[in-house]
C-alpha cells in the first residue's frame, strides 16, 4: 500500500507539471466572452473526479522499473503519435446561457515537437467559412450555431488541419491568469489608452492610464488592451494585441521555476472550460520537457495578399492559404 501511494504521488506530480503545457495554451483563449464561471466550476469538479479515477487505474499498471521512465517521457508522445498537437482557443461574446455566442477570438495553438516550435495562428472572425450543416457564413458563426465541435469541424474542413482539443474562458478568468503570471509589459499608444480606459468597469477605473507609454499591465488592464478593435487596423490589429499578450505570458513562464509553474498550472486549469484529458496532459509532458526552449511563432489567417473582401467577409485564396499554412505548421 505504501509503495502504491508513492507511485500515485509521483504520477500526480507529473500530471501537475503536464498541466503547464495546457496552462500556456489556454492563456491565449481567455480573450473574449460572457459568463463561463459555472461551466468552469462544473468542468473543474468533473476533471478532478476523472483525474483521481484515471490516476488510480494507471498506477496499478506501472511496475517499479517502468514508473520513472514511462512517466518522464521516454516512451510517451504527443496525442496522435505524430509529434504535433493543436488546441483551439475560443473566446465567445456570450452574455447568458441561452446560446453559445459568436467566437470573436479563435487561436489555434500548434505545438510541433519535430520542429521545436509553438505556432499561434489567429483566425479572424470575419473569415468566409463553409460551415458543415449551416452553409456559408462568417467564421465566428460556427461556434454560435453548433458550439466547439462545429467550429473545430469548420476549421478542419476549410483549412485541412487537425485540432485535438479546445479551451474557452472569459474576461475575468483571463485577468486572473495574467495576474498569476505577474502582469505583462506592453507599449500602449495615446489612442489605445483612450479606448482601454473606456473598457474598464466602474470598479476598475483606478487602473486607468494617463497617456501612452510602456506599462506593466495587470490582468484587468491587459484584458482591456486585448479588446481594443477601433484603433489602428481594426480586427487585424486586435488579433496582434492578443498574440502580443500571449507572447509576454510565454516569456514570463520561461523565467519561472518548476515549482512555480506547477502551482500556477493547477490554478489556471481550474479557470478553463476544456476537453483535454489527464492522460493527454501526461503525454504532452513527456514530449515537451523542453517546452520553454521552443520557438514561439505568430501566424494569422488570412495572410496578407492572399484574400479579398466580399460582402463584409474576408475570402481567402484557399489553395494558396492552405499551402502556406501547412508550411508554417508542419515543415
pLDDT per residue rounded down to tens, the chain (331 residues): 544 444 444 444 434 434 444 455 445 444 433 333 333 344 344 444 544 454 444 333 333 333 333 333 323 345 555 789 899 988 776 656 677 777 878 999 998 988 989 999 999 999 999 999 999 999 999 999 999 999 999 999 999 999 999 987 777 778 888 998 899 999 999 999 999 999 999 999 999 999 999 999 999 999 899 989 889 888 889 889 988 998 898 888 777 776 777 677 767 767 777 887 777 766 655 544 466 678 889 999 999 999 999 999 999 999 999 999 999 999 8
Give the span between the Cα atoms of 237 and 229, in whole angstroms: 7
Give the span between the Cα atoms of 299 and 321, in whole angstroms: 12
Return the pLDDT at 174.
Answer: 80
Return the pLDDT at 47.
Answer: 44
DSSP-derived 3-state class of residue 308: strand
Q: Angle of helix 171-180 relative to helix 219-227, nearest 10 degrees?
A: 130
Return the pLDDT at 283.
Answer: 63
Return the pLDDT at 96.
Answer: 64
Return the pLDDT at 168.
Answer: 79
Give me the phi and psi of 324, to 5 degrees please.
Answer: -70, -40
Cell matching residue 48? 478532478
Residue 123 burial by Cβ neighbours in a 10 Å radius (0-12, 13-18, 19+): buried
Give the span between the Cα atoms of 20 and 284, in whole angstroms: 9
Closest-CA residue to 174 (of 234, 233, 217): 217
Query: Dihedral through CA 215, CA 219, CA 91, CA 291, nearest 10?
Result: 80
Q: In sequence order, what E strands does the chain have?
A: 84-92, 103-112, 117-123, 128-131, 135-138, 165-168, 184-188, 213-217, 273-274, 295-301, 307-310, 313-316
Number of alpha carbons in the 13 Å side-chain half-sphere of residue 32: 24
Could you say which DSSP state residue 127 is in?
B
Amino acid at each position: 500500500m505504501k509503495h502504491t501511494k508513492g507511485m500515485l504521488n509521483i504520477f500526480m506530480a507529473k500530471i501537475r507539471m503536464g498541466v503547464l503545457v495546457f496552462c500556456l495554451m489556454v492563456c491565449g483563449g481567455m480573450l473574449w466572452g460572457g459568463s463561463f464561471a459555472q461551466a468552469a466550476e462544473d468542468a473543474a469538479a468533473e476533471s478532478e473526479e476523472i483525474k483521481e479515477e484515471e490516476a488510480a487505474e494507471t498506477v496499478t499498471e506501472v511496475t517499479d522499473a517502468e514508473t520513472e521512465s514511462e512517466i518522464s517521457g521516454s516512451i510517451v508522445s504527443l496525442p496522435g503519435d505524430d509529434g504535433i498537437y493543436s488546441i483551439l482557443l475560443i473566446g465567445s461574446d456570450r452574455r447568458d446561457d441561452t446560446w453559445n455566442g459568436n467566437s470573436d477570438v479563435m487561436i489555434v495553438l500548434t505545438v510541433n515537437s519535430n520542429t521545436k516550435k509553438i505556432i499561434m495562428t489567429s483566425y479572424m472572425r470575419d473569415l468566409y467559412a463553409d460551415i458543415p450543416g449551416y452553409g456559408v457564413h462568417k467564421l465566428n458563426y460556427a461556434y454560435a450555431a453548433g458550439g466547439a465541435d462545429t467550429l473545430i469541424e469548420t476549421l478542419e474542413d476549410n483549412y485541412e488541419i487537425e485540432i485535438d482539443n479546445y479551451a474557452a474562458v472569459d474576461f475575468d478568468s483571463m485577468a486572473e491568469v495574467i495576474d498569476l503570471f505577474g502582469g505583462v509589459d506592453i507599449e500602449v499608444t495615446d489612442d489605445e489608452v483612450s479606448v482601454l480606459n473606456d473598457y474598464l468597469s466602474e470598479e476598475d477605473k483606478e487602473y486607468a492610464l494617463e497617456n501612452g507609454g510602456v506599462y506593466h499591465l495587470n490582468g484587468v488592464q491587459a484584458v482591456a488592451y486585448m479588446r481594443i478593435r477601433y484603433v489602428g487596423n481594426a480586427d487585424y490589429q486586435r488579433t496582434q494585441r492578443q498574440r502580443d499578450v500571449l507572447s509576454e505570458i510565454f516569456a514570463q513562464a520561461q523565467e519561472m521555476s518548476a515549482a512555480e509553474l506547477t502551482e500556477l498550472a493547477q490554478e489556471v486549469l481550474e479557470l478553463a472550460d476544456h476537453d483535454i484529458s489527464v492522460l493527454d496532459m501526461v503525454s504532452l509532458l513527456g514530449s515537451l520537457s523542453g517546452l520553454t526552449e521552443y520557438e514561439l511563432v505568430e501566424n494569422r489567417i488570412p495572410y496578407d495578399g492572399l484574400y479579398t473582401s466580399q460582402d463584409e467577409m474576408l475570402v481567402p485564396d484557399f489553395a494558396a492559404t492552405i499551402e502556406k499554412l501547412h508550411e508554417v505548421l508542419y515543415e
